[in-house]
Amino acid sequence: MDNRSSHYPASRSGQQGPSSRGGQERTGGRRDFVRRRRVCKFCVEKIDYIDWKDYRTLLQFVPERGKIMPRRLSGVCAPHQRRLMEAIKKARNIALLPFAAE
């Protein structure tokens, strides 16, 4: 007897469990939701320079806790995310934006 086969779960040893029915049990037979890709707000509006003095625009990318929103949540492209991060940090140093929530 091969020693390794006892270390693998039942699904790897050739037995099919209830979850191997083509995925219908997992999704309940519903169609999967296809998420639409977000487009960068700054690319759409053709904004090259993100101004640190425009705190109302920057507030959209800083939630209540004061952290900078990541790209995957904000939908901003990588070059604009870097400029946005620098603008937020400058605005924080001049006290236009909070460092953290109170």
Q: Residue 68 corresponds to which tokens in the numbers above?
A: 């900078």
Q: Could you tell me if residue 19 is inside a domain?
A: no
Q: Residue 26 corresponds to which tokens in the numbers above?
A: 């997992």
Q: Could you tell me if residue 57 is inside a domain?
A: yes
Predicted pLDDT of residue 36:
76
Smallest CA-to-CA distance from 38 within 22, 21, 61 is with 61
Query: Who has greater pLDDT, 38 or 87?
Result: 87
Render pLDDT for 46-87 as a digit per residue (tens, 0 to 9): 999 999 999 999 999 999 898 999 999 999 999 999 999 999
Predicted pLDDT of residue 38:
79
- Domain count of the chain? 1
Q: Could you tell me if residue 11 is inside a domain?
A: no
Q: Could you tell me if residue 58 is inside a domain?
A: yes
CA distance readout (Å), 22 to 15, 19, 45: 15, 8, 44
Smallest CA-to-CA distance from 65 within 89, 101, 95 is with 101
Domain that holds residue 72: 41-93
Q: Could you tell me if residue 76 is inside a domain?
A: yes
Q: Could you tell me if residue 16 is inside a domain?
A: no
CATH number of the domain residue 69 falls in: 4.10.640.10
Q: Would you say 97 and 91 are in contact if contact means Cβ atoms under 8 Å apart? A: yes
Query: Who has greater pLDDT, 95 or 36?
Result: 95
Predicted pLDDT of residue 9:
60
Q: Could you tell me if residue 98 is inside a domain?
A: no
